[in-house]
Structure 1
Amino acid sequence: MSISIGNLRATASWNRTSRFWLAWPQATGHRDHDDAARDDSIALAQLLAVHAPVTMVATPMDVVQCSLQMPAGVMTLAADAGSSLLATQPVWLADAAGTVLAGVASDSLAGRDLAQAAGVQVVDLPAGWQGDLIETDGEGTAMVLARLAEGLVGGRVEAERLLAEKLGIMQVIWLNDPGAGRVPARYLAPGVVAVPGGHDANHPAFAALSANRDLLRATSDRVGRNFKVLDLPCPSRQRGCYSDCMVAGDLVVVPEFEESRDAQAFAQVVAALPDSRVIAFPATHLAGPGNGLGRTVLAQPKMN
């Protein structure tokens, strides 16, 4: 079921958390990797369950095995879409009182399935609009991937009108796509943004990432804050991303990739967020290419 927009606005990831959603890793045929991924999923569910309820999403074929291995109190949900249910990366929407009414702003079937599982309704968006193209601070500012405006007759002008009308986003910062197909930056706290760095000038993503970094450093948000931009390293051996931290309330989880740069990335985040609870967690076997933990765990905001 869809709802009218009214005064709904996109929420920030540092809102209080109602529930964490994780995807049970599917078999890849590489037993050592699969075992490690599932062990890490169980450990992550156990860690997060201290902060809010956790649901592990598994395919119908895997749900029995998954449920038998879950820590006490962790729920399981069978879904045909499996991990793609969480890959939609929804934008959670709240009314003026802070009550989460529309949890998924997505044009995908998986997004609607997730809305039903989360107990919230759906806001219809233009075809191709997904939550991982939009990163919002909950105060009217959003970093948006430039390709979101593609396909609209009015281009960015029309896109900005729709973002304001449907998501309550009044200031749009358009970022270049370095090739990941998602916003290459993540809010860690109000006015604090993490971006991937460490690329040399010959890297194909260097130009786009450098332009994004320069733009953010020269920009203030809708309430007048200058951005503090954390230029985090990139893993040297893995295809992961340190800047893709998981943020939920005052909890920030920095991904680890089992290499020396783990300590540098963690120290930078700790120094930038003195009021947050910053921890590290292994992401090597959980994160998809170019990702960290932010797109591995879905944090559903708490309703007032």
Structure 2
Amino acid sequence: MTWLMPAETHEHARTWMAFPRPNASLGDTTSEREAAYAAWTAVAHAVAEFEPVTMIVDPEESARAASVLGGGIERIEHPLDDYWVRDTGPSFVLGDDGRLGAVDWVFNGWGGQSDWARWENDASLARFVAEAAGAELVGSELVNEGGAIHVDGAGTVLVTETVQLDPGRNPGLDRAAVEAELARTLGATAVAWLPRGLTRDYEPFGTRGHVDMIATMPSPGTVLLHSQPDPAHPDHAVTRMLRGVLEAATDATGRPFAVIDLPGPSTLRDAAGFVDWNYVNHLVVNGGVIACGYGDERADARARAILAEAYPGRRVVTVEAREILARGGGIHCITQQQPATPATAAAPDPESRA
């Protein structure tokens, strides 16, 4: 069987999410926790305007999820440690015979960050989701997360050296070994290696450089790159360096990338330091794009315009995302698309729903 991970622009059967549950990053006060519930709910309902949403809910949060989410969002129960389903769930792929597959990466808390991360329950989440989705499980021994890869659906994959080559994830593996596994599981024929991610991603609750915070490919041969135009922010130098790397790289067809800057909002700092706010961390849905919003009307509008041009024919919707970013990720990080295929059952088993 040959597997290929389709681009996010491929038609979706649904989007998967995970409802927040108390842990190290959720918040210590009632107001902080309620802000997280509201943020996740807002994203779920925005996505549901375009395609079905299935929310994975920890059994202990079942009543709260039912109350907060309201109608229109399907719920399915499984014990959770965290709620970044892009990373803890599977990466969906399609077989050359049309069947749905689900890559079960090894998850170890973003490189074994045992001082705050827990993954006893999340380690089995990919297998659970695969079964619920009717997907064939594609096993892998690579420690990886869905937010650490971006594909164009035509064989090109973006990754970062500080994730896949992280000694806390894959000690002893070199580029060739990683590339071979990405070829087997995702159909990658070209891997573009970026040296690193954003500055804040190396602080507590960071992932050590996830690519979905810095770059994505809206179409083959094109990269949307986070741009930090203010020299006062350390990511100004980072994003300029990344642009140079991408301009020197090629995709699976051998052509150079057309790199499009996607500038971040004007805010440089929050209470914790330099922000990692960006518009690259968006979700493509059927007929639309769900974009992060930061309360910066001018920058949010500029991002919508760039995204609308990059994804022609799709309606771009902005959803307030500061409460999500404050916990370590964005809208792309809390969602996972399941590609549509006539060869598989798109909906979870009704008997397993909450």
Give the TM-score range, shorter chain: 0.7 to 0.9
1:296 aligned to which of 326, 334, 348: 334
Q: Which moved more, 1:48-57 or 1:152-161?
A: 152-161
Are the structure 2 counterparts of residues 62 and 289 from structure 1 closer, same or farther at C-alpha, using a change threshold of 3 Å? Answer: closer
Cα contact 2:86–2:332 (8 A) shared by 1: no
Quick one: distance in 2 between partners of 1:281 and 1:11? 25
1:131 aligned to which of 142, 146, 150: 146
Aligned twin of 2:77:
78
Aligned twin of 2:204:
none
Are 2:307 and 1:269 aligned? yes
Quick one: distance in 2 between partners of 1:134 and 1:283? 21
Aligned twin of 2:221:
191
Query: Per-residue CA shift, 1:179-204, capped at 9, x if unaligned?
Result: 53211312233333222211545644
Quick one: distance in 2 between partners of 1:94 and 1:277? 26
Quick one: distance in 2 between partners of 1:223 and 1:278? 29
Are the structure 2 counterparts of residues 154 and 104 from structure 1 closer, same or farther at C-alpha, using a change threshold of 3 Å? Answer: closer
Partner-residue secondary structure (3-state), 2:141: coil
Aligned twin of 2:346:
none
1:164 aligned to which of 179, 183, 187: 183
Are the structure 2 counterparts of residues 249 and 153 from structure 1 closer, same or farther at C-alpha, using a change threshold of 3 Å? Answer: same
Quick one: distance in 2 between partners of 1:103 and 1:40? 27
Aligned twin of 1:18:
13
Partner-residue secondary structure (3-state), 1:44: helix
Cα contact 2:106–2:143 (8 A) shared by 1: yes
Tell me by how many angstroms 1:85 deviates.
Answer: 4.4
Q: How many residues are matched?
A: 298
Q: Which moved more, 1:242-251 or 1:113-122?
A: 113-122
Aligned twin of 1:65:
64
Cα contact 1:23–1:86 (8 A) shared by 2: no
Quick one: distance in 1 between partners of 2:28 and 2:328? 21
Quick one: distance in 1 between partners of 2:144 and 2:150? 12
The residue type paired with residue 221 of structure 1 is D
Are the structure 2 counterparts of residues 267 and 165 from structure 1 closer, same or farther at C-alpha, using a change threshold of 3 Å? Answer: same
Quick one: distance in 2 between partners of 1:242 and 1:15? 20
Are the structure 2 counterparts of residues 275 and 226 from structure 1 closer, same or farther at C-alpha, using a change threshold of 3 Å? Answer: farther
Report matched runs for 1:150-299 at 5 Å: 151=170, 153=172, 155-178=174-197, 179=199, 180=201, 181=208, 182-183=210-211, 184-198=214-228, 200-201=230-231, 203-223=233-253, 226-235=256-265, 236=267, 237=269, 239=275, 240-260=277-297, 261-289=299-327, 291-299=329-337
2:156 aligned to which of 138, 141, 148: 141
TM-score (normalizing by structure 2): 0.74
Cα contact 1:106–1:112 (8 A) shared by 2: no
Cα contact 2:154–2:252 (8 A) shared by 1: yes
Identity of aligned residues (%): 27
Structure number having the greater helix percentage:
2
Structure 1 segments unaligned to the other structure (5+ residues): 1-5
Tell me by how many angstroms 1:103 deviates.
Answer: 1.6
Tell me by how many angstroms 1:292 deviates.
Answer: 2.4
Partner-residue secondary structure (3-state), 1:169: coil
* Larger RCO, structure (CA 8 Å, separation 6 or more): 2
Structure 2 segments unaligned to the other structure (5+ residues): 108-122, 202-207, 343-354
Are the structure 2 counterparts of residues 142 and 104 from structure 1 closer, same or farther at C-alpha, using a change threshold of 3 Å? Answer: same
The residue type paired with residue 185 of structure 1 is A
Tell me by how many angstroms 1:255 deviates.
Answer: 0.7
Partner-residue secondary structure (3-state), 2:240: helix
Quick one: distance in 2 between partners of 1:259 and 1:219? 33
Quick one: distance in 1 between partners of 2:149 and 2:259? 17
Cα contact 1:185–1:193 (8 A) shared by 2: yes
Partner-residue secondary structure (3-state), 1:243: coil
Cα contact 1:105–1:131 (8 A) shared by 2: no
Quick one: distance in 2 between partners of 1:32 and 1:263? 29
Tell me by how many angstroms 1:153 deviates.
Answer: 4.8
Tell me by how many angstroms 1:26 deviates.
Answer: 3.4
Quick one: distance in 2 between partners of 1:171 and 1:212? 18
The residue type paired with residue 63 of structure 1 is S
Aligned twin of 2:36:
37
Query: Per-residue CA shift, 1:119-167, capped at 9, x if unaligned?
Result: 3233222342222222111110111111314546561122222222332
Q: Which moved more, 1:29-38 or 1:46-55?
A: 29-38
Are the structure 2 counterparts of residues 105 and 26 from structure 1 closer, same or farther at C-alpha, using a change threshold of 3 Å? Answer: closer
Quick one: distance in 2 between partners of 1:155 and 1:40? 38
Aligned twin of 1:3:
none
